[in-house]
Amino acid sequence: MRTQVGIVGAGPAGLLLSHLLHRHGIDSVLLETRGREQIESTIRAGVLEQRTTDLLTEAGVGDRMKAEGFVHHGFELAFEGKRRRIDLTELTGNSITVYAQHEVLKDLVAARVEANGALYFNVSHTSIDGIDTDAPSIRFTHDDAEHVLHCDFVIGCDGSQGVSRACIPAARRNDYERVFPFGWFGILVEAPPTSEELIYARHERGFALISTRSPTVQRMYFQCDPKDSAENWSDDRIWSELHARVDSADGRHITEGRIFQKNIVGMRSFVSATMQHGRLYLAGDAAHIVPPTGAKGLNLAVSDVRILSNALQAFYAESRSDLLDAYSETALKRIWRAEHFSYWMTRMMHRLDDASAFEQRLQVAELDYVTTSRAAAIAMAENYVGIATV
């Protein structure tokens, strides 16, 4: 098999890159270990920055997002029994769109299928060879047959557990990581929205987040021990915890409903500051992980892909390699800014077991500052809607 760009991983980064390359007239083959049904049904959060929604719209895959997504012009910060609103649009001129990641994936898969794109699901035994040459290849098994895909470039979009990043020699990699001692307990609920916008809550018992998926399905999270088990939490216990952390002194409270999904996810920050080696380039979760507090994961993947697609277009259309050579340096400017914002939000909003009573009061003081100082609110809003670095 032969193509120009071989892409490993059909998450948001791989699918969007394949679609953008197609629009530039560049051939690609996309390989994914999971089945189509699995990636389209794995429910994950989706807070999309304005630049992300603009790119999806420009790429022709934004119609359903516009029809079904929820445009939010702000969000609420809940602490000390009160709620204060950060007006994103008034402070920055931009908004966000709440549209779940698996819905974005559905739109991108449909676009690749409609374009007769080379998209292989349920592949196995994937390995990458020859990245130090100008003729790398990807070996994989599909439908019990072994294949070798020869290409000009390999793009690793296969997440933190994929094979791509490990292909970069350990001596050449610069990896940075911070594992947090807490996780998020997430539930999906059949209920009308508690609020028209997201609610981020800081409480002495721990963090909580109230979000929405549809007019009848809501997504809620609360801070927990990452080693805990969802089976230990009855519905009554969950609602009691969420009410304690989110309900406000003025009588506003969360809306209950039938809980139909429970799960616990750990939290960490990670950056591979070596995002390219030879003809291999990393994008999305293969190169970086952010705690979900800052709502940056999917948006960083889109940012990587924007840079890569432009660089590959310049290579094929103009025989330029300067943009590809600068890919890591260019992408990391945005990545480290987003990592810092997500870390700051996480430290400010979560219960920190090692924090003294003095440090806990500093958290409250900081929340009071960002919700009463216009300058501080602008800084938070700019980072939340996404600061353009390229």
Listed in sequence order, the DSSP H helices in 24-137 are 36-41, 50-58, 63-68, 88-92, 101-114
* 333 belongs to the catalytic site: no
* 350 belongs to the catalytic site: no
Would you say 123 and 31 are in contact if contact means Cβ atoms under 8 Å apart? yes
Would you say 180 and 167 are in contact if contact means Cβ atoms under 8 Å apart? no
Would you say 111 and 19 are in contact if contact means Cβ atoms under 8 Å apart? yes
Active site residue: 106, 288, 292, 350, which one? 292
Measure CA 42 to chain center. Answer: 14
* 291 belongs to the catalytic site: no
Question: How far apart are alpha carbons 306 and 342 in whole angstroms?
Answer: 21
Which amino acid type is present at position 98? V
* 226 belongs to the catalytic site: no
Active site residue: 19, 72, 203, 288, which one? 72
* 200 belongs to the catalytic site: yes
Question: How far apart are alpha carbons 1 and 265 in whole angstroms?
Answer: 38
In this structure, are strands 74-79 and 124-129 parallel, antiparallel, or unpaired?
A: unpaired
Listed in sequence order, the DSSP H helices in the chain are 12-23, 36-41, 50-58, 63-68, 88-92, 101-114, 235-246, 297-318, 322-325, 327-349, 357-370, 374-385
Instruction: Identify the CA nearest to 292 among candidates 185, 157, 380.
Output: 185
Active site residue: 200, 221, 281, 327, which one? 200
Question: How far apart are alpha carbons 85 and 195 in whole angstroms?
Answer: 12
Active site residues: 72, 200, 292, 296, 384
